[in-house]
Structure 1
């Protein structure tokens, strides 16, 4: 049990903050829905419940994924966060379906809701809190990829361009809260339209739109984490490592290079071609230099390096590395 709580300290902080905030928001929206019967509020309540549960699971999964390898699991637990995310999106998918179904029912049988002021106040609070969580998640993404924001709004703007390189847990939080914030604004507008124009179906339409946005997150997160659970090649980091390795004058060519992403961690396997006249002592020094260099790259946790004699055929060129790296950027 002591180890479990120690691991929790290393869990993804944005997901924990998001889970706590969404629990509070879900409680507020739940109370407002029972008082007003507002269908848009129901959709937002379901969304916040799904986000809170999802993010709690992700926090625990991200913490447990940092558990050290054991004799039974020698490759470690890095992919556990991907498996947890896959399980968590199932819950969101169910809530998405219920949200769309309730919205469709309201369109077919519109009913006027009460307590407009309560709905607007709760939705307004939710939008503000979700925006704060979104901002923090955006800052974490910029930190993950080593990018400095150029303005106060960078966590909300620049982070989107680097979303693919973010940690799975942080990426999930950002996407869910982006949809949650947008959904809150949509529900807010729907309540105003319904109240001032008498177009009661607006709340049902908003509910369906929120449900569809939730389904989008489900699909996106599922595909991303399915690739992670299988062991996905990090192409951008592969090219980056190939570039820095090829700059070592002792490395004549790169025969094989693998950069496998498991959860938040990267595992590197390198086969480099070296001058066959070098001594074992020299090869050992080269190996140490390359290992330290690769391990210093963000996210890399282990490296396997082996050497082969230079065959005189160039498989990897410095120019090719720069071209591919620029393309991925």
Structure 2
């Protein structure tokens, strides 16, 4: 998954960097606010890809005394930072530029340059979007789209997909806004397009922030995984009752498991240790993403008090 995520990010990084330069040149040449907003949008997206790559790199850092469970949550932190960047820089500047353009409208010079740039951007952005879409579809398996986003523990793939989707919508809005401005002779359409692009970025950022917040705080593993782990523990004859099964994603590929169990009366310490070892081994063999398992021997009466 990490390798696939990197491929998606690199594809988006190269595409956005080239598109950003082209859009800024077109904006300076034609004076279009919508094109300037699109240039800022692509520039922000380029920076976001770098942040995601930084998160993936730092997530691979080994565990140490200060971070005994590793740095897997770096991916979640930097994905959240990406959402803030989209909102603060992309949406904020686009809205400001659009409102400024409406207050002081000016006609777009030689709009055909913008059409050419937007057309090329749609081709490049469309390719990056399709690549991200394929990876997202492979990741979601048979789950629905919204369910896949909610339950996916590696946010990098859907973050890039969200960005590319917002980028395609922004290109369409810019194209329509410049076209309406040229057709009607009213330059206000250019500013309106910039405002709409800002709103698209704002909504995208809010959704990304919402989806990554839970991962950053500490989401549990998938309910089916939790159910199967509990079932494994229930099957042990040494265990009278499984009191509680707690899990947490410490990263996309690191699940922490804590199981509270009530052992049968009269078991000696050796049998308890052997059962814990076997349970630990079985869980990790069944679910490779489970890296640490803690089994807590606790009577139900003690847990309730």
Q: The TM-score by the shorter chain falls in which range? A: 0.7 to 0.9
Deviation of residue 305 (structure 1)?
Answer: 2.6
- Select 1:131's aligned residue among 108, 118, 126: 126
Deviation of residue 202 (structure 1)?
Answer: 1.7
- Select 1:108's aligned residue among 103, 110, 113: 103
Aligned 8 A contact 1:58 1:84 in 2: yes
The DSSP-based 3-state class of the residue aligned with 2:21 is: helix
Deviation of residue 128 (structure 1)?
Answer: 2.6
Deviation of residue 288 (structure 1)?
Answer: 4.4
Partner of 1:305: 295
Q: Distance in 2 between matches of 1:301 and 1:129?
A: 40
The DSSP-based 3-state class of the residue aligned with 1:233 is: coil
Partner of 1:189: 176
Partner of 2:39: 45
Cα distance change on mapping 1:27 and 1:245 into 2, 3 Å: same
Q: Distance in 2 between matches of 1:185 and 1:253?
A: 59
Q: Deviations over 1:206-247 (max 9, x none)?
A: 111111121223233334434433x3232x614532244325
Q: Deviations over 1:143-191 (max 9, x none)?
A: 444x159xxxxxxxx5444112231222221211111111111111222
Q: Distance in 2 between matches of 1:140 and 1:290?
A: 34
Deviation of residue 203 (structure 1)?
Answer: 1.7
Note the 1:143-162 alignment, pairs <5 A.
Answer: 143-145=138-140, 147=141, 159-162=145-148
Deviation of residue 136 (structure 1)?
Answer: 2.4
Cα distance change on mapping 1:288 and 1:85 into 2, 3 Å: same
Deviation of residue 30 (structure 1)?
Answer: 1.2
Partner of 2:190: 203
Cα distance change on mapping 1:285 and 1:198 into 2, 3 Å: farther
The two structures, once aligned, show a CA RMSD in angstroms of 3.0
Partner of 2:161: 174
Note the 1:248-327 alignment, pairs <5 A.
Answer: 248-250=234-236, 252-264=240-252, 265-276=254-265, 283-284=272-273, 286-295=275-284, 296-297=286-287, 299-308=289-298
Cα distance change on mapping 1:121 and 1:73 into 2, 3 Å: same
Q: Distance in 2 between matches of 1:202 and 1:223?
A: 32
Gaps in structure 2 of 5+ consecutive residues = none
Q: For structure 1, which segment, 215-224 or 54-63, has the greater mean C-alpha deviation from structure 2 after superposition?
A: 215-224
- Select 1:246's aligned residue among 228, 231, 236: 231
Aligned 8 A contact 2:243 2:300 in 1: no
Q: Distance in 1 between matches of 2:34 and 2:64?
A: 48
Aligned 8 A contact 1:134 1:178 in 2: yes
Taking structure 1 as the reference length, what is the TM-score of the superposition?
Answer: 0.78
The DSSP-based 3-state class of the residue aligned with 2:235 is: coil
Q: Distance in 1 between matches of 2:187 and 2:94?
A: 17
Q: Distance in 2 between matches of 1:133 and 1:298?
A: 31
Q: Deviations over 1:125-155 (max 9, x none)?
A: 222322322232233334444x159xxxxxx
Q: Distance in 1 between matches of 2:242 and 2:27?
A: 61
Cα distance change on mapping 1:207 and 1:74 into 2, 3 Å: same
Q: Distance in 2 between matches of 1:9 and 1:162?
A: 19
